[in-house]
Amino acid sequence: MICDFVAQFARLIASHPEDIRVDVKEGDEVTEIVLFANQADIGKLIGKEGKMIGAIKTVISGCKAKDGVSYRINVEAV
């Protein structure tokens, strides 16, 4: 559910939505969400001073309160 949200949100922002891919690495304490995007879209996804990715993290932290699972999100170039 959270991965689908992150992928759809990134596709709305990106200039190359076909390059967006999300991988999930579940660990013992933290679930890591890796968002792969075109090099040209990395800046758009992070935003000025990290505000865009910060907004995504805020929404995900609300899911943490419900599920009890901690999430970490990383943005990487394809």
Q: What is the mean pLDDT of residues 34-44?
A: 96
User: How much is the pLDDT for 64?
Assistant: 80
pLDDT at 18 over 90: yes
Confidence of residue 48 (pLDDT cuts 50, 70, 90): very high
Mean pLDDT across the chain: 92
Query: Could you tell me the two tokens for 55?
Result: 């907004």
Torsion over CA of 70, 77, 54 and 60, rounded to 10 degrees?
A: -30
